[in-house]
A and B are shown apart, each in its own frame.
Chain A
Amino acid sequence: MRRGSIALAAATVATGPARAAETDVPPWMLEQGTPVDELPYGSPSPFEKSVVRRPHETLPFPTSASVLTPLQDLEGIITPNGLHYIRSHAGTPAIDPAQHRLLVHGMVDRPLSFGMDDLARFPSISRLHFLECSGNTSFYKASLIKPNWNVQDTHGLLSCAEWTGVRLADVLAEVGVKPGVKWILAEGADAAAMTRSVPIEKAQDDAILAYAQNGERLRPEQGYPLRLFLPGYEGNINIKWLRRLKLGDQPFETREETSKYTDLLTDGIARQFNFVMEVKSVITRPSPGRGPAQPGFCEVTGLAWSGNGRITRVEVSTDGGAKWGNASLQEPILSKCLTRFRLPWTWNGGPATLKSRATDETGMVQPTRESQLAERGPNFYYHYNAIHTWQIAPGGEVKLAV
């Protein structure tokens, strides 16, 4: 109690108890709540303290690791900034934005250095896009999958936000791209000095140098004060803490695009520069860990996305894939963005096997796990996008099915 609240408290004592006793008024109606200026930034209700990011398991190197978004507890399509998944290779650097600069050099007419104030002078752009780690849902090897996983474990290296920044194309016009440029090296200012090669076509198309996320400045763990954002591309290439862009005529063959983030096929040959996160979906409710399903009406809802464009269709099956029905798609339905889908369903209390199958505007449809494994083999690790399955037991328990 602060300020002039003594008088208010006295008034409550004079009139409150009798009425409360008679009518069972909840206690939070019988006194003033917390002052509006108590939490200048704000935080979720204490009753939501279980809705947090977490890793799969204890981390031997907690700066080179990931924590996953609790998709099972989220609504709509936007990931709150405090719940956006994190994958970092050397922790989160503490960068003073006043000292941070972006160097753009290499095959350019005018090598330039930009402070954050300089970048803020370019025209700004805001776009809603998902971001997915290419290692999300790596279900190629059954031995790497744990039967007690929930959707946070299976799909939680996936988040979605409104990203605001400037078009990389505008910054490239400022430095002047020399003829023959094919790739741009992007480098982060973390202790990994993370580097990836970005194709010039993508850089000139929809690439963003982002400084804000869901209306506020980037969170430190998302690259504060500046990150590269390449809509639809695998998470790793969206370089955080961006400090340098170097234009060149060939890829730079960094560690993260040779030894990692490449896809090894059964014949021993690996696919390199495989950037796009292809069409995928997952049912977020019912899903494991949310208590048993209740017989009767049971809404099936989830998320669908494609790095190639808009989602055009999501089908849901409750009988393991024998019959499929179209789910309704919640607007907005945006390119390279999460789309929320819903299907009204009545669960009869018997065993049920739930699957979702998304289609994007290019006509690509999620494959079955069996066909994806047959095509790619057991040494593939990244870019898994097959149909996902939950099983409901007669008691209502929801479990992962592989």
Chain B
Amino acid sequence: MRYSVALLLGFGLMTSAAAADPPHQGFGRPATPQEIAAADIDVRADGAGLPPGNGSVAQGEALFASTCAACHGERGQKPIIPALRLTGGRGTLATPNAVQTVGSYWPYATTLFDYIRRAMPFPAPQSLSPDQVYAVTAYVLRLNDIVPDGTVLDADSLPKIRMPNRDGFVDSYKPGH
């Protein structure tokens, strides 16, 4: 323990609680709530981390045509490999030529939001607003017949979408390996 007594008191730590902590050296500096909020862009499967805002299928359709279709193909058909194929493939996973797409393979709709938000569009990552990410997410789900026309997605509705292949994965992690 190298934190000063004043610092410990400042954190409101009891002496006994501090003694039970693993040793730490005081390296680094406390992260501010502001810098954590700025960096903390991930979205979990239960929706934790989704920002305020919303976007519709119709808004996403326009945005997709101008921003996404050059690589992923019009309506997500015929992408330039290795740009991801976004649609189709339902029912193929147990055949010798499985087609793994958002609609046929991805287990969580939230992952789509998380990935578009952090990594797309390819030439300008992190350039879309939360509303735009909700809109593109809604449109890609519409292309896969997972949501109907007129859908508006937000932090409440997106995590409730059940993807067709939600139960298609087994956890093969073995602790200790």
Contact = CB atoms under 8 A, between A and B. Distances in A.
Interface stretch (A2-10, A18-26, A28-36, A187-195): A187-195
A174 B168 contact: no
Given A90-B119, A273-B173, A275-B173, A111 B36 contact: yes
A264 B98 contact: yes
Given A90-B125, A110-B30, A192-B125, A185 B42 contact: yes
Given A118-B28, A122-B27, A258 B40 contact: no
Q: Secondary structure of the B side of the interface?
A: loop
Nearest to A380: B98
Contact of B21 (A176, A253, A264): A176
Interface stretch (A75-83, A242-250, A283-291): A242-250
Contacts of B39: 103, 187, 243-244
Given A185-B42, A192-B125, A308 B177 contact: yes
Contacts of B118: 192-193, 195
A339 interface: no
Given A252-B44, A253-B44, A258 B111 contact: yes
Nearest to A109: B21
A335 to B, nearest CB: 13
B64 interface: no
B125 A193 contact: yes
Q: How large is the interface on B (under 10, 10 to 19, 20 to 34, 35 or more residues)?
A: 35 or more
A90 B126 CA distance: 13
A305 B29 CA distance: 40
A351 to B, nearest CB: 32
A201 B82 CA distance: 34
B173 A259 contact: no
Interface stretch (B51-59, B101-109, B133-141, B143-151): B101-109
A47 interface: no
Given A90-B119, A118-B28, A191-B125, A269 B42 contact: no
B10 interface: no
B176 interface: yes
Contacts of B100: 259, 264
Contacts of B171: 272-273
A193 B126 contact: yes
Interface string A268-304: 1111111110000000000000000000000000000
Contacts of B30: 110-113
Contacts of B21: 109, 176
A57 to B, nearest CB: 11
24 contacts: A64-B122, A89-B119, A105-B36, A111-B31, A174-B28, A187-B39, A193-B125, A193-B126, A201-B175, A243-B39, A244-B39, A246-B40, A246-B42, A250-B45, A253-B111, A259-B111, A262-B169, A264-B100, A269-B168, A269-B169, A273-B171, A377-B96, A379-B93, A379-B96
Interface of B: 21-25, 27-31, 35-36, 39-42, 44-45, 80-84, 93-94, 96-98, 100, 102, 105-108, 110-111, 114-115, 118-119, 122, 125-126, 168-173, 175-177
Given A118-B27, A273-B173, 8 more contacts: A113-B29, A187-B42, A201-B176, A252-B45, A254-B111, A271-B172, A272-B173, A275-B177
Interface of A: 60-61, 64-65, 89-90, 103-105, 109-115, 118-119, 121-122, 173-176, 185, 187, 191-193, 195, 199, 201, 243-244, 246, 248, 250, 252-255, 258-259, 262-264, 266-276, 308, 377-379
